[in-house]
Amino acid sequence: MSTWQVIVNPSAGKPGTVTHRVRDALDTRGIGYELAESASSTDVGRIVAEAAAGGARRFVSVGGDGTANAVVDALMRQPWDQPPTLGILPAGSGSDFIRTFGFPRDLESAADHLSGDEIYRVDVAHVSGPWGDRYVLNAASAGLGAATVAVANKMPARLGSLRYSIGLWPALARFRPGEIEVTVGAKGFTGPALTVVFANGQFFGGGMNVAPKASLVDGLFEVLVFSGPKRQAFTVMPRVMRGLHMRHPAVKRLVGDSFSLRTTTPWALEIDGELLGGAPIDGRMVPGAINFKI
């Protein structure tokens, strides 16, 4: 069996320890690997391109959702004849993608899943705008969701995923709702809104079950529009944690393999927990693009 190309975000988790933990976990289990540390998304792209040119087909992301996104974005830009395989060792503050699988959220337990041949073919989304384009593994959001990420990213890393649930409220206080037009397939929504989530996986924002009906294998987006005035957030958001918001009158669900979003006021965009560009935004789903190691 071929070795894994392991890509480590050295700033994930407790600084200065994650690379040592990865080596220990993989060596203890007799898993073959090549390891590289990444300093940025550009660095990840270089590592993936060089490894792919050398014949690598199996990759491991070590970090949070942002690191996994950088790896997937780089993988999707390579000319594969068959989908590459991705494994994830969680070491970041979010790690929402693996929650959909009920995966262990500690690095050492997750390393057990790198043995064997079990894989799960998953979809990957692609979004674009005037700012450029990016592939999406788990979820993207515009509006209040992105504003919350901006606040959370300024909080101490030791708070972990709590940064997102804490950051929501100061972000809400400053956020200005706007009129939006979102089209998903043949359906759409036009009106005032707080945020729009474009989901591939079920969870985002540090464990919020935002899209409980999402599937990683159906080739479709779950698009959730949170409409109405800001005060609606006080009743909707607590329900989102447990996935109990879908019947709330302020929540509009749209499903399709593509979308477009237009806004009358500037709305930021976050992709897998990383701020990147803003509206207008267009998206499409790429079915069965990645083999996820389970």
Q: What percent of the chain has pLDDT over 90?
A: 77
259 plus 160 within the same structural domain: yes
Beta-strand relationship, 85-90 and 281-293: parallel
At 82, the pLDDT band (50, 70, 90 cuts) reads very high
- SS3 assignment, position 288: strand
So what's the pLDDT on residue 81?
Answer: 96
Kindly tell me if the per-residue pLDDT of 112 is higher than 80: yes
- Does residue 161 have a pLDDT over 90? no
Of the pLDDT bands very low, low, confident and very high (cuts 50, 70, 90), residue 249 is: very high
At 155, the amino acid letter reads: M
- Where does 175-216 have alpha helices with state H? none
Cα-based angle 255, 291, 54 (whole degrees, multiple of 5): 135
Q: The domain spanning residue 164 has which CATH number?
A: 2.60.200.40
pLDDT in tens, 168-215: 899 999 998 899 999 999 999 999 999 999 999 999 988 899 999 999
pLDDT band at 48 (very low <50, low <70, confident <90, very high): very high
Helix axes 144-152, 162-174, angle to 10 degrees: 120
Clarify whether residues 260 and 147 are in a common domain.
Answer: yes
**Residue 12's pLDDT is what?**
85
Asked if 65 and 151 sit in the same domain, the reply is no
Which of the listed residues 71, 95, 117 is the one where a domain comes to its end?
A: 117
Q: What distance in Å separates the CA atoms of residue 230 and residue 139, rounded to the nearest whole number?
A: 22
The answer to whether the peptide bond before residue 177 is cis (omega within 30 degrees of 0) is no
CATH number at residue 47: 3.40.50.10330
Number of domains in the chain: 2
Asked whether residue 63 carries a pLDDT value surpassing 60, the answer given is: yes
The two tokens of residue 236 are 């909707």
Is 40 part of a structural domain of the chain?
yes
H or E stretch at 6: strand 4-8
Buried b (16+ CB within 10 A) or exposed e, 111-124: bebbeeeebeebbb
pTM for this prediction = 0.94
Residues 181 and 113 reside in one and the same domain? no
pLDDT bucket at 226, cuts 50 / 70 / 90: very high
Residue pair 166/159 in contact (Cβ under 8 Å)? The answer is yes
Q: What is the pLDDT of residues 84-107, one digit of tens each?
A: 999 999 997 778 999 999 888 889
pLDDT at 23: 97
pLDDT mean across residues, the chain: 93
Is the domain of 133 the same as that of 93? no
Reported as a single tens digit per residue, the pLDDT across 137-160 is 999 999 999 999 999 888 887 787
Instruction: Assign 1 a pLDDT band (cuts: 50, 70, 90).
Output: low
Phi (first) and psi of residue 129, to 5 degrees: -170, -175
More confident site: 275 or 162: 275
**Does pLDDT of 16 surpass 80?**
no
Domain assignment of residue 99, given as a range = 4-117
